[in-house]
Amino acid sequence: MALNPTGLEFAINSLQTGLVFAQIHSGAAGDGTDNIAVVGRQLVYWTVPDSGAFGLASPITFVGGPSYGTAYSVTLWDQETDGSMMGEILLTGGDTTFNGDGIYQVTAIDFTLLASDG
């Protein structure tokens, strides 16, 4: 069943207000506490939804990782500390390594939801 426009707006608002922090991992995150590459979570800013799609409004920059270490995935969280891990996004696209200064930047996380018109 597809969402109607009202349901779609509700779903997107819920996602955007619940997925507010990101953490980076050097391997599979498990429950979110495994293979943490950088201590601390970064605030996530989302774009204004357009036809059910939204993504990062600005890159997420992680500082303090291992020099030339592996960047495997990003987990999305509802709180800066503790809270609930809402999902793990595997990093792809060829760049899965921190730079020599231990910095890694996530430039895209995109979501698309569909609505029916009835």
Regions in the chain scoring below 70 on pLDDT? 1, 115-118
| Chain centroid offset of residue 104 CA | 13
The pLDDT score that the predictor gives to residue 51 is 79
**In the chain, count of helices (H) and strands (E)?**
1, 8
pLDDT in tens, 77-111: 999 999 999 999 999 877 899 999 999 999 999 98
**Region of 23 on the Ramachandran plot (φ > 0 left; ψ -120 to 50 alpha; else beta):** beta
The pLDDT score that the predictor gives to residue 117 is 61
Whether the model clears a pTM of 0.85, i.e. scores above it, the answer is yes
The pLDDT score that the predictor gives to residue 57 is 96
